[in-house]
């Protein structure tokens, strides 16, 4: 099912050519394609395969479609997400458990009631969109708003005008979007009647204190951070004000949500860290609560190996995040333990971006790291070694290559994964055993000390990167 096009920042983004290309590349081709013509772009229709939704709607307007009963464990969807390898994992979710988890989260976490309106600004294809644009609010008896577009168009007040118009009671967004709004006139926050709004929930990336304070003071509403993952489908850490009023702490998403037995474990010994403020891997003791992934689609072994065997001596679910817990039981998330980066609330694997860039014929080798960015949290930065080293002195050829490589990433992974810069170097920093020193590259890009470099094969490699970054 698709449409002729979408609209982003006033620009028409054609979907049909992308869809046709995807079907051309796929091994398993659909028999039929159902298309909504929004009147945004012309569509080339394939006879016998492509069907227009408007025609079928007229045909089936008064049909009664019976409920299709499935087992509780029947998969409801798979959502692909990044990890440490170049191959994304298909997070497979069940039907019954997911429904129960979402139904319970609406009153207990989001304090939403039947008859009210939920407004989640996420992308619909992201886990937050699945859980809290579509299923959660509707299962909870709430109306839901689907908003297509930017928070700044026609102006920075558009979201708040929707809150007034539809009497939104619960709103859900991401810190990046708030940082975008911070650049707008703060008067836009108070131009509309926001009396219906109970709270603004934010998730997907660390919520920095200045952003939290700015929006909380601007709106005069509680701001509630919540931490979770594509794999879990609903919050792991937050404050459940629908159960009992719990104060929020700046910088902390909160405490473990009911159903989650969250622990901090020593990454070397697997031992539980019981003293306050000790840094460890955020892990969840099995069984996971309803709603969390059943397995990795088509690969049970990968599910077990990836998530359940990384902490020594214990079979626990690893979130791959570092965290600490203070004396009051509030968790603080300190970043990933793996090579996953977070760009504007979007989770990306540096390995996937590297594989995509390696698809360019001129590239011999590439390293991608996440670098701190004021607006997006992190951006991807790429350092490539060219097959033809003589091009390194040809500035115009390098500029052209940078553009081409960005296009390759746009086409294979989408614009969100496009590196902020692609820089070209003669050699990449590696250990003597050939392991890429991504953390050292990242430190240099962020102006930090790269740490112990005695294992590095060629010490000039990091200097080149440092020179490029400074220039
Ligand atoms: O690193 C954590 C970060 O985002 C990762 C999960 O991303 P994704 O699978 O795209 O799911 C997003 C669903 C909200 C986590 O492993 N993350 C998510 N929420 C927070 C966060 N980091 C800090 N604070 C949060 N509230």
* Parallel, antiparallel or unpaired: strands 89-93 and 295-296: antiparallel
220: left (phi over 0), alpha (psi -120 to 50) or beta: left
Task: Give strand pairing partners of 226.
Answer: 203
% of the chain at pLDDT higher than 70 = 100
Provide the pLDDT confidence category of residue 435 given band limits of 50, 70 and 90: confident
Question: Are 182 and 189 in contact, with CB atoms under 8 Å apart?
Answer: no
Distances, alpha carbon 264 to alpha carbons 42, 76, 248, 272, 321, in Å: 54, 31, 20, 6, 10
Rounded distance from Cα 451 to ligand 1 centre (Å): 27
The answer to whether the beta carbons of residues 368 and 382 sit under 8 Å apart is yes
Distance CA 79, CA 150 (A): 24
pLDDT single digits (tens) 106-127: 999 999 999 999 999 998 889 9
Residue closest via CA to ligand 1's atom 11 equals 229
**Nearest alpha carbon, ligand 1 atom 13:** 229
Residue 409 parent element (H or E)? helix 395-413
The count of other CB atoms within 10 Å of the CB of residue 254 is 24
The pLDDT assigned to 433 comes to 77
List Cα–Cα distances, 433 to 355, 383, 440, 460, in angstroms. 21, 20, 16, 17
Residue 260, H or E segment? none
CA 253 to ligand 1: nearest atom: 26
Confidence of residue 434 (pLDDT cuts 50, 70, 90): confident
pLDDT for the residue numbered 117? 98
Handedness of CA 77, 81, 83, 85 (dihedral sign): positive
Residue 123 confidence (pLDDT) = 87
Residue 454, pLDDT score: 77
Confidence of residue 428 (pLDDT cuts 50, 70, 90): very high
Which pLDDT belongs to residue 218? 93
Task: Name 120's bridge partners.
Answer: 172
Pinpoint the alpha helices (H) of 109-227. 127-129, 136-139, 158-166, 175-181, 209-219
Specify the ligand 1 atom closest to the Cα of 126. Answer: 10
Distance 94 CA to ligand 1 centre (A): 21
- A 10 A CB-CB count for 25 gives 8
Q: Which residues line ligand 1 (CB under 6 A)?
A: 81, 127-128, 203-207, 225-230, 253, 319, 321, 333, 336, 342, 347
pLDDT at 132 over 90: yes
Distance 460 CA to ligand 1 centre (A): 36
Strand duo 340-343 + 346-349: pairing: antiparallel
Q: Residue 99, Cα to own-chain centre: how many angstroms?
A: 21
Tell me how far apart the alpha carbons of residues 320 and 336 are, in angstroms, rounded to a whole number.
6
Report residue 458's pLDDT band, with 50, 70 and 90 as the boundaries: confident
From 98, 91, 96, 81, select the one nearest 299 (Cα to Cα).
Answer: 91
Give the C-alpha separation, 437 to 292, whole Å: 33
Q: Six-digit token pair at 325?
A: 């817990």
Closest CA to 83 of 442, 348, 286: 348
- Choose between 312 and 168: higher pLDDT: 168
For residues 172 and 121, is the Cβ–Cβ distance under 8 A?
Answer: yes
The mean per-residue pLDDT over the stretch 274-294 comes to: 97
Contact 194, 164 (CB under 8 A): yes
What tens digit of pLDDT does each residue of 333-390 get?
A: 998 998 899 999 889 999 999 999 999 999 999 999 999 999 999 999 999 999 999 9
The protein residue with its alpha carbon nearest to ligand 1, atom 24, reads 206
Give the distance (Å) from ligand 1 centre to CA of residue 49.
39
Separation of alpha carbons 178 and 195, rounded Å: 20
> What is the Cα–Cα distance from 267 to 286, expressed in whole angstroms?
18
Q: What pLDDT does 249 receive?
A: 94
Q: pLDDT averaged over the chain?
A: 94
Pocket-testing residue among 105, 133, 333, 336, ligand 1, by greatest number of atoms within 8 A of Cβ:
333
Per-residue pLDDT band at 431 (split at 50, 70, 90): confident
- Residue ranges of E strands in 82-203: 89-93, 117-120, 143-145, 168-173, 199-203
| SS3 assignment, position 367 | strand
Q: How many Å lie between the centroid of ligand 1 and the Cα of residue 243?
A: 23
pLDDT recorded at residue 470:
85
Q: pLDDT band at 426, cuts 50/70/90?
A: very high
Please give the domain boundaries of the chain with CATH numbers for all domains.
2-60 (no CATH), 77-336 (3.40.50.12780), 340-470 (3.30.300.30)
Helix (H) / strand (E) element for 253: namely: none
At residue 213 the predicted structure's pLDDT band, cuts being 50, 70 and 90, is very high
Helices (H) and strands (E) in the chain, counts: 13, 24
95 Ramachandran zone, left/alpha/beta (phi>0; psi -120 to 50): alpha
Select the more confidently predicted residue: 431 or 395: 395
List all residues 6 or more positions away from 178 whose beta carbon is below 8 Å from its beta carbon. 202, 211, 214, 215
Buried b / exposed e along 356-395 (16+ C-beta atoms within 10 A) = bbbebeebebbbbbbbebeebbbbbbbbbbbeeeeeeeee
Stated length of the chain = 471
Burial (Cβ within 10 Å: 0-12, 13-18, ≥19) of residue 38: middle
Looking at residues 401-406, what average pLDDT do you find?
A: 97
Helices 395-413, 350-358: axis angle to 10 degrees equals 120
Report the share of the chain in percent with pLDDT over 90: 83
Contact 316, 386 (CB under 8 A): no
CB atoms within 10 A of CB 184: 14
């Amino acid at each position: 099912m698709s449409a002729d096009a979408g609209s982003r920042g006033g620009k028409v983004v054609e979907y049909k050519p992308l869809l046709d290309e995807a079907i051309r590349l796929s091994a398993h081709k659909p028999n039929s394609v159902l298309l909504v013509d929004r009147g945004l772009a012309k569509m080339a229709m394939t006879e016998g395969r492509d069907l227009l939704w408007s025609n079928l709607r007229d045909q089936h307007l008064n049909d009664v479609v019976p409920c299709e009963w499935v087992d509780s464990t029947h998969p409801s969807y798979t959502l692909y997400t990044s990890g440490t390898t170049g191959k994304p994992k298909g997070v497979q979710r069940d039907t019954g458990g997911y429904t129960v988890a979402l139904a319970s989260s609406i009153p207990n976490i989001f304090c939403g009631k039947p008859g009210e309106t939920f407004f989640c600004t996420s992308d619909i294809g992201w886990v937050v969109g699945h859980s809290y644009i579509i299923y959660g609010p509707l299962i909870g008896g709430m109306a839901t708003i689907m908003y297509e577009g930017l928070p700044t168009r026609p102006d920075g007040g558009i979201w708040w005008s929707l809150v007034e118009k539809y009497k939104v009671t619960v709103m859900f967004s991401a810190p990046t979007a708030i940082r975008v709004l911070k650049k707008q006139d703060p008067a836009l926050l108070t131009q509309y009647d926001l009396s219906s709004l109970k709270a603004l929930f934010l998730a997907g990336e660390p919520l920095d204190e200045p952003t939290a304070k700015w929006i909380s003071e601007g709106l005069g509403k509680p701001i509630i951070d919540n931490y979770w993952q594509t794999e879990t489908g609903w919050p792991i850490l937050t404050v459940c004000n629908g159960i009992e009023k719990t104060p929020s702490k700046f910088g902390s998403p909160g405490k473990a949500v009911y159903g989650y037995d969250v622990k901090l474990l020593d990454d070397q010994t697997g031992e539980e860290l019981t003293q306050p403020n000790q840094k460890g891997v955020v892990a969840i003791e099995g069984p996971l609560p309803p709603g969390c992934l059943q397995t990795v689609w088509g690969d049970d072994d990968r599910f077990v190996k990836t998530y359940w065997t990384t902490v020594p001596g214990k079979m626990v679910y690893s979130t791959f995040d570092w965290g600490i817990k203070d004396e009051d039981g509030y968790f603080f998330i300190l970043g990933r333990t793996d090579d996953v980066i977070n760009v504007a609330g979007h989770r990306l694997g540096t390995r996937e971006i590297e594989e995509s860039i390696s698809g360019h014929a001129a590239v011999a080798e590439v390293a991608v790291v996440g670098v701190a960015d004021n607006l997006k949290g992190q951006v991807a930065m790429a350092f490539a070694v060219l097959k033809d080293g003589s091009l390194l002195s040809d500035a115009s050829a390098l500029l052209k290559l940078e553009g081409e490589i960005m296009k390759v990433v746009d086409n294979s992974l989408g614009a969100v994964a496009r590196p902020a810069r692609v820089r070209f170097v003669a050699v990449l920093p590696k250990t003597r055993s050939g392991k890429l020193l991504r953390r050292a590259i990242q430190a240099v890009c962020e102006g930090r000390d790269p740490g112990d470099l005695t294992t590095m094969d060629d010490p000039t490699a990091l200097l080149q990167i440092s020179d490029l970054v400074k220039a």
